Structure 1
């Protein structure tokens, strides 16, 4: 009985765990070189992306620069046109100013002449004309004739006569222009026939026209056949 106890205890005791040692990883081939290659490849991709981004920015800037240069060229052409137009307008303005100065000088000269003429007319009217008209009216009154019309009435009559002559001249010019236009369009007495339209009737000279040889032979053979 005493010997059975220890054997039972030894049979029921748990087994001791066995420790498994991990096997170390052994690199095969030149792994250092591969690692460096992978690192350089990743760095190359990074720099390539950066380069592509900068290239896109440069291309966009070049496109914008081309557009700006084209705009500058268009502006230069427009500026040249405007400068030419400015020079032309300045020349025209200078000519207009010169013509205006000439017109001002001529106006002042004519105004001075008109003032001199008015002064002379007034002097003659108040002096020699008044004395002469008074003598004439006195003599006409002695002869039983009516006095002469006043100077103002004479001037108004001359003005009316001048306006009447101008109106008649304008009417005559308008009538001559209308007649000339009618002759040109062919509605007057010397109207020309419309080209392309054949006149009616027998043509001129058809009665006295000499028949051709073929027609003469045909007419001569007809009586012979009849006989």
Structure 2
């Protein structure tokens, strides 16, 4: 028993179905579907603005930190500058004082130089005068005195150098004596034999202070002893 094959879809139906599918796809591509409502677009815009705000806020924080750090450094530098100015003022005052002292020292030194030159000139004049007198009138007078003393059997006068040496030695002895006196204090006076010691003075004065006569109660004792004998 043979089976008759069932008839399949015709070619025309297949072609018509494929064409409708292609038409729907084209309409969908050219006209995309849009969701109803604007909430999600606002959320996206809000998120984008929030991200941009965070970015700029972070940049602002970095710049603010740099500015604050610079202000702190500037305050420290200002304080250091004030300290330096105060130190400079102190140094300027000290410099002015020292310059004034140096000026006074220079003036005193100039005066001392003038005084030294004056004294040196006076010393030179005195030496010239001494030499002139020694080689002139002094030598002739000394020669005449020595001749006359020799004729009279007397010793000659000491030389001028010898007299100057004796004078210098006496001056040095006086200086040493004054120095030793200043160091040790005043020299105590020597006690002579006529000056009594303090102990001797008190011993000699004490008998003079003793009262003369009988001691108190001696007369009564004598009367009492006499009555007992009777």
Deviation by residue 1:12-61 (Cα, 9 ceiling, x = unmatched):
xxxxxxx9x99x68365522221111111111100110010001000110
Shift in Å at residue 158 of structure 1? 0.6
SS of 1:141's equivalent in the other structure is: helix
Q: Quote the Cα distance in structure 1 between the aligned partners of 2:66 and 2:81.
A: 22
- Counterpart check, 1:144 vs 2:153: yes
Q: Quote the Cα distance in structure 1 between the aligned partners of 2:97 and 2:187.
A: 41
- Counterpart check, 1:64 vs 2:73: yes
Q: Quote the Cα distance in structure 2 between the aligned partners of 1:176 and 1:87.
A: 46
Deviation by residue 1:179-204 (Cα, 9 ceiling, x = unmatched):
9xxxxxxxxxxxxxxxxxxxxxxxxx
SS of 1:117's equivalent in the other structure is: helix
Specify the alignment match of 2:2 in structure 1: 2
Specify the alignment match of 2:179 in structure 1: 170
For structure 1, the 5+ residue unaligned runs are: 11-18, 180-227
Specify the alignment match of 1:193 in structure 2: none
Give the TM-score of the pair, scaled to structure 2: 0.66
Aligned residues: 168
One of 3, 8, 31 as aligned partner of 2:40: 31
Give the TM-score of the pair, scaled to structure 1: 0.67
Deviation by residue 1:151-196 (Cα, 9 ceiling, x = unmatched):
11111111111011000001111112899xxxxxxxxxxxxxxxxx
Q: What is the 5 A alignment of 1:96-111?
A: 96-111=105-120
Q: Quote the Cα distance in structure 1 between the aligned partners of 2:187 and 2:93.
A: 45
- Counterpart check, 1:44 vs 2:53: yes
Larger of the two Rg values belongs to structure: 2
Deviation by residue 1:92-123 (Cα, 9 ceiling, x = unmatched):
01001100000010001111100110011111
Q: Quote the Cα distance in structure 2 between the aligned partners of 1:34 and 1:178.
A: 120
Q: What is the 5 A alignment of 1:1-227?
A: 1-3=1-3, 6=5, 26=35, 30-176=39-185
Q: Quote the Cα distance in structure 1 between the aligned partners of 2:83 and 2:38.
A: 68
Q: Quote the Cα distance in structure 2 between the aligned partners of 1:41 and 1:161.
A: 114
CA 145–177 in structure 1, closer or farther in 2 if over 3 Å, else same: closer
Shift in Å at residue 70 of structure 1? 1.0
Q: Cα RMSD (Å) of the superposition? A: 2.7
Q: Quote the Cα distance in structure 1 between the aligned partners of 2:37 and 2:186.
A: 119
Specify the alignment match of 1:197 in structure 2: none
Q: Quote the Cα distance in structure 2 between the aligned partners of 1:149 and 1:2.
A: 195
